[in-house]
């Protein structure tokens, strides 16, 4: 597995995939940035981390060229080291960035099968962060995306938008693309308990969770909160923003400028158990992204906890949330604030929406369910390749049983 954008321990999708493969008896190696939180996995049996010093962070497009060039060089070195250490049957490249296809082609030439895990689309992400780019930049981003996907024998992606894009823009055969959504592990969700003290003696609490990037439009979220608090009088709610990232400090500065610090809490990065403690306590989840192609992971987590959520009306957000969410016109912060205010005042509606979301996650979207799709892709490329599948044919039935009862722990 090769990942660039975040360290392995902070990449919840990749860590779930790795844990699933380890449970199937595979040996797993991960090329990743070094980070103190990776210590959680460094002594895991059959898991090896090939770590490199992280590149300097940058929010400028030219800075990403330096970052990706450095990361690409380190990934080349570590991929060769991994190959010299033993046979590599399968390579999973996590995109974006769409830069590792030369490594994939090299390892394919040496006998490995290659999978791309497409989590986001770099052309759309660039536009959401920096506005409409020059035609040459957009062409280059789409070219890299196409090369990255066509270097693989199978593409795994997080939603139908990305699947359609792989088929239409990269010419991938429909049967070589599989949607594996990024649902939470229900066994971890059911272990979380509410903590009323987190509400800071207010009647309600709303939560936003995620990496704070420009594309997350936390500026719109804060303006929606300001409308709810100052124009609609929703002063009985604590709004909690959980996470960190490049926009953390500017988001705090905007909250101060809007006079919201009394009502908005910034927790910084939290471990999954602490995040889940907040979600088990909250009354409403929040999202303010304007990325039509993104299936927000936060929405899956809200739904798993029976939390309704308020968001902008976008294709994949609506496809994911359905009637478990209420939607404002894209970019309309005042309407989003009015929806927040309305839902907080209607407990019965929140319960109805929350139960719809919880049921859908339990029956379809949880990782226990999605892991079955992921395993099918892996074993379709390398049938009978895992140690445990050779010696214990009951392992897949155990995964199915865990998915059926919503409580099978895969890690």
Q: CB burial class (10 A; 0-12, 13-18, 19+) of residue 390?
A: exposed
Q: What is the pLDDT of residues 76-135, one digit of tens each?
A: 999 999 999 999 999 999 999 899 999 999 999 999 999 999 998 888 888 887 777 788
| 410 in any annotated domain | no
Count how many Cα atoms sit within 13 Å of the Cα of residue 396 in the half-sphere of its side chain.
Answer: 15
Q: How confident is the model at residue 59 (pLDDT cuts 50, 70, 90)?
A: low
- In a domain? residue 3: no
Token pair in block for residue 86 = 């033993």
**Domain count across the chain:** 2
* Residue 18 covered by a domain: yes
**Is 37 domain-assigned?**
yes
Q: Which phi and psi angles does 182 have, rounded to 5°?
A: -110, 50
Residue 408 in any domain: the answer is no
Q: Are residues 46 and 171 in the same domain?
A: yes
CATH number where 82 lies: 3.40.50.2000
CA gap 341, 235 in Å, rounded: 10
**Sequence-ordered list of residues with C-beta below 8 angstroms from that of 154, at least 6 positions apart, any chain:** 115, 116, 176, 177, 178, 377, 380, 381
- Return the axis-axis angle of helices 218-226 and 333-344, rounded to nearest 10°: 60
Two structure tokens written together for 307: 């939390």
Residues 201 and 315 placed together within one structural domain of the fold: yes
Give per-residue pLDDT as tens, 376-393.
999 999 876 554 444 343
Any idea how long the chain is?
411
In a shared domain, residues 255 and 336:
yes
Query: Any alpha helices (H) in 283-407, and if so which ranges?
Result: 297-304, 315-321, 333-344, 347-360, 367-381, 387-391, 395-405
Q: What Cα–Cα distance (Å) separates residue 378 from each residue in 56, 92, 357?
A: 34, 10, 29
| Per-residue pLDDT at 124 | 86
What is the DSSP secondary structure assignment for residue 60, as one 8-state letter?
Answer: S
Domain assignment present for residue 19? The answer is yes
* Pair 27, 164 in one domain: yes
3-state secondary structure of 396: helix
Question: Does residue 294 sit in the same domain as residue 272?
Answer: yes
Question: Which carries the bigger pLDDT value, residue 12 or residue 398?
Answer: 12
Yes or no: say if 241 and 251 are a contact pair by the CB < 8 Å rule: yes
Shared domain check, 213 and 137: no
Same domain? 223 vs 348: yes
Phi, psi of 357 (to 5 degrees): -65, -45
Q: Could you list the residue range(s) of the whole structural domain that residue 301 is in?
A: 187-364
124 and 260 in a single domain? The answer is no
DSSP state of 268: E
For residue 410, name the pLDDT band (cuts at 50, 70, 90): very low
Q: Name the 3-class secondary structure at 386.
A: coil
* Residues 216 and 257 reside in one and the same domain: yes
Q: Would you say residue 411 lies in a domain?
A: no
Q: Are residues 178 and 252 in the same domain?
A: no
Cα–Cα distance for residue pair 407/99, rounded to 1 Å: 37
* Residue 409 domain-assigned (yes or no): no
% of the chain surpassing 90 pLDDT = 77
pLDDT attached to residue 157 = 96
CA distance 309 to 77: 44
Does 311 lie in the same domain as 293?
Answer: yes
pLDDT of residue 387: 46
**Does the pLDDT at position 401 exceed 70?**
no
Tens digit of pLDDT for each residue in 201-234? 999 999 999 989 888 999 999 999 999 999 999 9
| 174 and 204 fall within a common domain | no
């Amino acid at each position: 597995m090769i990942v660039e954008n975040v360290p392995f321990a902070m990449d919840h999708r990749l860590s779930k995939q790795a844990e699933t493969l380890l449970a199937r008896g595979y040996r797993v190696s991960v090329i990743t940035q070094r980070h103190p939180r990776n210590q959680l996995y460094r002594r895991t049996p059959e898991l090896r981390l090939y770590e490199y010093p992280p590149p300097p962070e940058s929010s400028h497009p030219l800075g990403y060229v330096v970052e990706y060039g450095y990361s690409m060089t380190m990934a080349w070195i570590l991929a060769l080291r991994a190959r010299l250490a033993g046979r590599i049957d399968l390579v999973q490249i996590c995109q974006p960035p769409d830069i590792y296809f030369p490594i994939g082609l090299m390892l394919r030439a040496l006998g490995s099968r290659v999978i791309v895990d497409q989590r986001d689309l770099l052309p759309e992400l660039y536009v959401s962060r920096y506005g409409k780019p020059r035609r040459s930049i957009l062409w280059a981003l789409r070219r890299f995306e196409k090369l990255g996907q066509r270097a693989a024998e199978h593409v795994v992606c997080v939603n139908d938008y990305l699947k359609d894009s792989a088929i239409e823009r990269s010419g991938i055969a429909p049967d070589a693309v599989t949607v594996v959504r990024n649902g939470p592990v229900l066994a971890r969700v059911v272990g979380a308990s509410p903590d009323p003290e987190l509400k800071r003696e207010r009647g309600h609490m709303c939560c936003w969770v995620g990496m704070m990037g420009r594309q997350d439009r936390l500026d719109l979220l804060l303006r929606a909160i300001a409308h709810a608090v100052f124009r609609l009088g929703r002063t009985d709610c604590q709004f909690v923003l959980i996470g960190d990232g490049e926009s953390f400090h500017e988001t705090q500065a905007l909250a101060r400028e809007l006079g919201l610090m009394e009502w908005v809490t910034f927790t910084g990065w939290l471990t999954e158990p602490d995040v889940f403690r907040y979600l088990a306590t909250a009354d409403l989840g929040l999202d303010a992204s304007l990325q039509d192609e993104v299936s927000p992971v936060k929405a899956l987590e809200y739904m798993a906890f029976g939390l309704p959520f308020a968001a902008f009306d976008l294709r994949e957000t609506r496809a994911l949330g359905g009637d478990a969410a209420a939607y404002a016109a894209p970019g309309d912060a005042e309407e989003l604030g009015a929806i927040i205010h309305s839902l907080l005042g209607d407990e019965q509606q929140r319960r109805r929406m929350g139960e719809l979301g919880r049921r859908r996650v339990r029956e379809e979207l949880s990782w226990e369910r999605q892991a079955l799709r992921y395993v099918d892709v892996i074993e379709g490329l390398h049938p009978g390749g895992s140690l445990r599948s050779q010696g214990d044919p009951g392992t897949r039935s155990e995964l199915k049983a865990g998915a059926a009862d919503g409580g099978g722990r895969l890690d």
